[in-house]
Homo-oligomer: A and B are copies of this chain.
Amino acid sequence: MTLLPSDRALVPFVSVQHMMGLVHEIGIEKMLLDLATEIEGDFRRWESFDKTPRVASHSPVGVIELMPTSDGQMYGFKYVNGHPKNTREGLQTVTAFGLLADVETGYPKLLTEMTLLTALRTAATSAMAARHLAPEQSRCMAMIGNGAQAEFQCLAFKAVCGIDTVRLYDIDPVATRKAARNLQDSGLTVITCKSSQEAIEGAQIITTCTADKQYATILTDNMIGSGVHINAIGGDCPGKTELHRDILMRSDIFVEYPPQTRVEGEIQQLDPDHPTTELWQVITGQKPGRRDGRQITLFDSVGFAIEDFSALRYIHRAIQGTDLYVELDLLADPDDPRDLFGMLGRARP
């Protein structure tokens, strides 16, 4: 009689240390490219997924969310919190972990940290969307908000869209210096700016990623010229937006999953029937993306469960044959499945 759990009871677990090891083993730019491809592939088969808005538990200081989805073969979900006040206490605004499971048996197949992985998949999604929406030959991006997500965004746009210059701005110059330092050996030309206005000069792509839970106005209408692509990723929960309403009115707006974006995205400022285009329909060719050089395109991104699903499946594949995970004894799996109690009895010291 063995007291060791059977293989079926073991779930591979990728810790933060292991995830960092995996990023370095694969190379961050290749991983961002791979993730963009993986996510685009799942957007292309959007209709095969169970979709539901995230399940949110709000409190006065933040939100805890579960984001499940399934394609009928695999099931994935992410746990993620959003607590803007956390940074003031030395904690992350966003932490996350996720799980992939087999729909056929319900047994988990992977548990992984997703704080890093969320930063990677968000950046990959942004850049993948820009590949369909930004002006051709975009080379310069304004990066407004230089917090935890900023460098990942910059590298994804380099790897996926061919951006060679980033113009950084944050209301806190310390954050801008941090991002510039982190990007100094990236191959990007990095320009630090003293205002949003300065940051967007000459940029074909404007990424906004600021974190305060309030109706903010990072960009006002008079700042935005024609022809740019705006990648708005910071407005992602009720009461949190970044762009002036007038910019939205001049833009063609692309979203992930409308029932979620209407509540959480920039478009919470607009009428519920304001026209938007679902990104997956652009990717499949059902709807046009960018039509001309003067159009302002806006990707109103709030993050959707399918992006996490793609990332989870990618990690599950990527760790095979590596030592970048450990096996967790997460599931009870007695030899006789009806004899859970007997398994407990045999474990008596």
Residues of A that sit less than 8 Å from B by CB: 3, 5, 8-9, 13, 15-17, 20-21, 23-24, 28, 50, 52, 55, 57, 59, 61-64, 66, 68, 70, 72, 75, 77, 79, 81-83, 86-87, 89-93, 95, 97, 99, 101, 103-108, 113, 115-116, 119, 146-152, 175, 178-179, 181-182, 328-345, 347-349
Contacts and interface: CB of A to CB of B under 8 A. Distances in A.
A3 B17 contact: yes
A86 B105 contact: yes
12 contacts: A21-B347, A24-B347, A57-B68, A57-B75, A61-B103, A66-B68, A79-B101, A83-B105, A95-B107, A95-B332, A115-B332, A119-B341
Nearest to A15: B329
A342 to B, nearest CB: 5
B24 A113 contact: no
A331 B92 contact: yes
Most chain B beta-carbon contacts within 10 A, residue among A3, A104, A333, A337? A337
Contacts of A345: 182
Contacts of A16: 5, 9, 329-332
A319 to B, nearest CB: 15
Given A97-B108, A148-B338, A331-B113, A21 B349 contact: yes
Contact of A92 (B82, B149, B333): B333
Contacts of A72: 59
A261 B17 CA distance: 43
Nearest to A80: B106
A151 B342 CA distance: 9
A269 to B, nearest CB: 26
A152 B338 CA distance: 12
A82 B108 contact: no
B79 A55 contact: no
A348 B333 CA distance: 38
Given A16-B331, A182-B339, A333-B92, A106 B119 contact: no
